[in-house]
Amino acid sequence: MTEYDYWKIFPRMPKKVMIGDITIRDGFQHEEKFISTAAKIYYAEELILAGCREIEIVNLGNPAGIPQFRDAEDVLAYFRSDKFKKRCAGKNINPDDIIFSAVTIREAAVDRAIELRQRGIGPDRLLMMVSTDEEHHFANSGTTLPEYWKEAERCTKKCNDAGMKMCGVVSTIWGSPISGATKLEEAVIFTKRWFEIGAYDIEHADHDGSASAAEVYRYFAMILDEMPIPELHLAHFHETKRVASASVLASLHAGITRFEGTLGGLGGQPANFLDDTPVRGTGDYYYRDPRYVGLICLEDLVVMIDELGIEHGYDVDKVLRLGKLMEKTIGRRLRSEAAINGRTEKEGHRHFARPGLRPKKEKRGEKPDQIYPAEWPAVPVLPECFKKPA
């Protein structure tokens, strides 16, 4: 007999997950207009009040190249302030349970994070990034891979000594927008290298939407076979082909428990234009259409996880409300379908019902709950040609 219990079919699939948010960092870095400090603080705080416990809020790289984050210190300072702590207390949230992360691609940014930590406003967790495709890595960091690994080793020790956690990011796992196909096995080795030099956890990133569900399952099964603590692994999927939700499901089947997204599916490369001025960013965009390169939508992801019956900790309605507000902040229609259409309501939408059904059934002599003609047998009689062979 066919097994119909989904959890028995996929025994590694978790009953509880952690969904982080990176709207303020990855989402806003791709926008070609400056998002105000007030807006960054508003959305980050509201996401936390809605249930987020891991949130990326700044890039501590040189503001000359990424001026979207010229207010990074102001944003970080707010989330160490008494005002923020008071808001958390009003919602019975312990601020110490929230992990604030910052991207620190190069050593100067790590040093800046340490200095901010010493001032009492630094992040809890830093991220440095390697790509298995050296061409892609060079485009992002300006270094060779051997050069960067040595830098990452130094920086990870500095980070750990300062009381922060280092997240090692592995990118181009399922392919590179520059060099094409890559090897999953190489990404597994890169993951081990990060742990070898002291990383706390790993972000496994599909930065250009190359992943397919089958290869995602295969990769994360390989990862968890060799490094079987799910909490150490975070899945990061971009949405360029509208298949990231399939990658999330494949990750769940493999046993992954940590994910992240952005409101409205925002994100992509750092912008090379801000307001009315060209800026460095990371150079030319390597996408055919830079409007459609962001992460999986947080709204859609939370709804999907919720409707799978998996615990996630979010107030789904609050997340959907924030998604609608984000469209006003950004000034255009974003990519979340759940923010527009909501989630599947088990009670239905009675206001869409057409009048006259009940009177028509009464007129025809049908019972209120009758759905078949009265003369039909109670049990369907399946024609022999459609039955399963003995």
Domains and CATH numbers, the chain: 6-341 (3.20.20.70)
Binned at pLDDT 50, 70 and 90, residue 70 comes out as very high
Residues 43 and 23: beta-carbon distance below 8 Å? yes
**Is the pTM higher than 0.75?**
yes
| pLDDT exceeds 90 at position 287 | no
Q: At what angle do helices 107-118 and 145-161 cross, to 10 degrees?
A: 10
Residues above pLDDT 70, as percent of the chain: 100
3-state secondary structure of 20: strand
What mean pLDDT is predicted for residues 119-129? 98
Determine the Cα angle at 251 with ends 248 and 252, to 5°. Answer: 90
What is the pLDDT, as a whole number, of residue 348? 85
Out of 172-176, 224-228, 342-346, pick the least confident.
342-346
According to the per-residue pLDDT averaged within each range, which of 32-36, 178-182, 209-213, 339-343 is highest? 32-36
Alpha carbons 265 and 300: distance in angstroms, whole number:
9
* CA-closest candidate to residue 303, choices 333, 340, 267: 340
Mean pLDDT of the chain: 95
Q: What is the pLDDT of residue 286?
A: 81
Residue keyed to tokens 């490094």: 227
Mean pLDDT across the stretch 30-51? 98
- Is pLDDT above 80 for 390? no
pLDDT at 1: 81
CA gap 231, 311 in Å, rounded: 15
Please check whether residue 285 is in contact with residue 269, taking contact to mean a CB–CB distance below 8 angstroms.
yes
Q: Using one digit for the tens of pLDDT, what is the confidence trace for 322-374?
A: 999 999 999 999 999 999 998 888 888 888 899 999 999 999 999 999 999 99
Concatenating the DSSP letter of every residue in 289-356 gives -TTS--BPBHHHHHHHHHHTT-B----HHHHHHHHHHHHHHHTS--S-SHHHH-PPPTT--GGGPPTT
Predicted confidence (pLDDT) per residue in 72-115, tens digit: 999 999 999 999 999 999 999 999 999 999 999 999 999 999 99
pLDDT value at 299 more than 80: yes
What per-residue confidence (pLDDT) applies to 208? 85
Rounded Cα–Cα distance for residues 166 and 75 (Å): 20
Average pLDDT over residues 191-199: 98
The 10s digit of each residue's pLDDT in 240-260 is 888 999 999 999 999 999 999
Residues facing 136 on adjacent strands: none
Token digits of residue 240: 């360029």
Q: Phi and psi dihedrals of 162, rounded to 5?
A: -85, 0
Please answer whether residues 69 and 63 qualify as being in contact, where contact means their C-beta atoms are separated by less than 8 angstroms.
yes
Query: Computed from CA positions of residues 245, 59, 231, 302, in that sequence, does the dihedral angle turn out positive or negative?
Result: negative
The pLDDT of residue 241 is 87
Question: Hey, which residues does 273 pair with through a beta bridge?
Answer: 278
